[in-house]
Amino acid sequence: MTPDVSPHLATALRRRDYLISAWPWRALAYAVSSVPIAGALAIGLLIVGAPLLVVVGAVRHDRPVSLPAMLCLAVTGLVMLALAPIVSMPVARFERWRLGLVDPRPLPGQRLRGGLSARYTSAAAWREVAYACWLGGVVPIAYWMFTLLVLLDLTLIAGPWLAKDEDQVVLVWVTVDTPGQAIPYAIVGVLLVPALWYLAGLLVAGQAVVARWLLGGASDGAALREVTRSRARLVDAYETERRRIERDVHDGAQPRLTSLTLQLGLARLDVPDDSPAAGPLAVAHEQAKDLMVTLRQIVQGIRPQNLTELGLAGAVRELACAATIPVDVHADLPQPLPELVETTAYFVVSEALGNVARHARATRAEVRLTRSGRHLVVEVSDDGCGGADPARGTGLTGLADRVAAVDGRLLLASPADGPTLVRVELPCRP
């Protein structure tokens, strides 16, 4: 037998060896253990449902509803509403433990603070109530329907033994008189057994999914807001540090390196060409000039100088002029943009045009910069071969990460035969 390595029942159902693994028996154990719990909860729901059905029946038949029936319904409903958060607590705790039969993945429990009052004020507690109602209302109906299917299948299998020469036996939709007539239906019943095993697994897997959804707890909205705020603080801190490094390099290291390059150039003029020091001095001078170019590129990579001097539209037009194919730029930016948004948009266009040149085999490209409400919309399109895929290393993954860092989003349309459109929406916070 193949070792059972599936993480939970839902994935085990897709395996070919499901029927010969331990998962069907685990699903059966989970279903059998659900019966007493679901039955007890169903009785509780019926206590509320009986007076409600009486009132609904009287209203439907235009009969007056008696005062005792209304009082009984109101009192019962209030009592059940008051007890539901308390009763659901042990049920939910037991269900979290029992879920391990078909889904061993960790399921965090709800630790509610605030004592008894939290059982009535927290969303997690009422999710447990919803699960208890589902377990007592929907699960019994589903199990009963599945039990009917099993009984019908057992009737088909037992048909040859139930049929007598003098008796008639009804097998689902036909009547048989002899065991020979029942044998084909018995064969069908045997063939349906694996299907019922799978159906039982699907039923239990659905129950487990609902249990995990309701008992696992919703995402903490406060925590998500704090994560969003902390990410914004990190981005702002990064931008501040980036500007500091840019100033330090531009105002400190770059002038000194420029001075060193000039001194080496003057020294080369004073040293004869046949001197032993001429060769090393020329090499040092060339290395200093190369280092200046590298340092200038690093500074521009932090924030391009043309972006500071010309703004986003002008800097993008310079990128278009430097591209290897004709690029049309359409900019409609009536208002100034935040510096971080400008920097992100510039590198989006730069990376997108670089991808066009390297991969698209395009003849033309177009860049659009528009302000839509509180968002800057950047669109880069080309008439190339299309088929852009982040998994193939086209730089789109890094581009998406850069956009996500400022809480933006990237949309890509690139069918196999083109054209390709990259659309980026960046929020413009004041």
pLDDT in tens, 2-23: 334 446 888 888 888 888 888 8
Over residues 51-61, mean pLDDT? 65
Residues 118 and 206 in one domain: yes
Same domain? 97 vs 140: yes
Judgement on whether residues 232 and 99 belong to the same structural domain of the protein: no
Cα 161 to Cα 157: distance, rounded to the nearest angstrom: 9
Q: Out of 192-196, 208-212, 277-281, 337-341, which region has the weakest mean confidence (pLDDT)?
A: 277-281
Question: In terms of residue numbers, what domain contains 247?
Answer: 221-302
pLDDT: is 1 or 97 the higher one? 97
Rounded mean pLDDT, 408-427: 86
Residue 171 bridge partners (DSSP): 174
SS3 7: coil
Domain boundary among 183, 215, 247: 215
Q: Which residue has the higher pLDDT, 14 or 53?
A: 14
Does 330 share its domain with 261? no
Last residue of a domain, one of 164, 194, 215: 215
Max Cα–Cα distance, the chain, nearest Å: 128
Please choose, from the candidates 228, 40, 222, 229, the residue with its C-alpha nearest in 3D space to the C-alpha of residue 122.
222
Residue 293 binned pLDDT confidence (cut-offs 50, 70, 90): confident
Residue 220, pLDDT score = 47
3 in a structural domain: no
pLDDT value of residue 395: 66
Q: What per-residue confidence (pLDDT) applies to 337?
A: 85
In terms of domains, do 333 and 376 share one? yes
**Cα–Cα distance measured from residue 306 to residue 193, given in angstroms and rounded to the nearest whole number:** 73
Q: Tokens 């993480």, residue? A: 7
Considering the domain architecture, whether residues 314 and 408 belong to the same structural domain is answered as yes
Instruction: Output the CA torsion sign for 241, 242, 243, 247.
Output: positive
- What's the pLDDT at 142? 92
Q: Is residue 151 part of a domain?
A: yes
pLDDT in tens, 151-191: 888 888 887 887 765 566 666 677 777 777 778 888 888 89
Write down the pLDDT at residue 227: 53
Contacts of 277 (CB under 8 A, 6+ apart): 271
Same domain, 63 and 179: yes
293 and 162 within one domain = no
Number of domains in the chain: 3
* Averaged pLDDT for residues 257-272: 79
Question: Could you report the per-residue pLDDT of 335-382, keeping only the tens digit for each?
Answer: 888 888 888 898 889 888 888 888 888 899 999 999 877 889 999 999
4 domain residue, yes or no: no
Q: Count the Cβ atoms, other than its own, within 10 Å of residue 251.
A: 9
- Give the tokens for residue 201: 């697994």
Query: Do residues 276 and 307 touch, judged by C-beta distance below 8 A?
Result: no
Residues paired with residue 412 on neighbouring β-strands, in sequence order: 422
- Calculate mean pLDDT across residues 270-294: 78
Roughly what angle, to the nearest 10 degrees, separates helices 179-215 and 123-157? 170
Helix axes 305-322, 339-355, angle to 10 degrees: 20
Same domain, 209 and 165: yes
Mean pLDDT of 228-254: 64
- With vertex at residue 375, the alpha carbon angle to CA 372 and CA 381, rounded to the nearest 5 degrees, is 75
- Residues linked to residue 365 through DSSP beta bridges, in sequence order: 327, 382
CA distance 248 to 257: 13
How large is the average pLDDT for residues 127-148?
90
pLDDT of residue 368: 93
- In this structure, the answer to whether residues 188 and 41 fall within a common structural domain is yes
124: pLDDT strictly greater than 50: yes
Q: Specify the pLDDT at position 3.
A: 39
269 and 376 both lie in a single domain = no
Report the alpha-carbon distance of residue 309 to residue 30 in Å, rounded. Answer: 69
Provide the pLDDT for residue 365.
92
Q: How confident is the model at residue 301 (pLDDT cuts 50, 70, 90)?
A: low
**Residue 322 falls within a domain, yes or no?**
yes
Residue-level pLDDT at 4: 40
Q: Which residues contact 132 (CB under 8 A, 6 or more apart)?
A: 41, 84, 87, 88, 91, 92
Residues 254 and 191 both lie in one domain: no
The C-alpha atoms of residue 14 and residue 43 are separated, in whole angstroms, by: 36
In a domain, 177, yes or no: yes
| pLDDT more than 70, % of the chain | 75
Query: Once rounded to an integer, what is the mean pLDDT over residues 405-415?
Result: 84
Domain CATH for 415: 3.30.565.10
Single residue among 271, 302, 333 that ends a domain in this structure:
302
412 pLDDT above the threshold of 80:
yes
Q: How far apart are CA 348 and CA 404, in angstroms?
A: 12
Q: How far apart are CA 101 and CA 314, in angstroms?
A: 63
Classify residue 1: in a domain, yes or no: no
Across the chain, mean pLDDT equals 79
Per-residue model confidence (pLDDT) at position 223: 47
**Any bridge partners for residue 420, and if so which?**
382
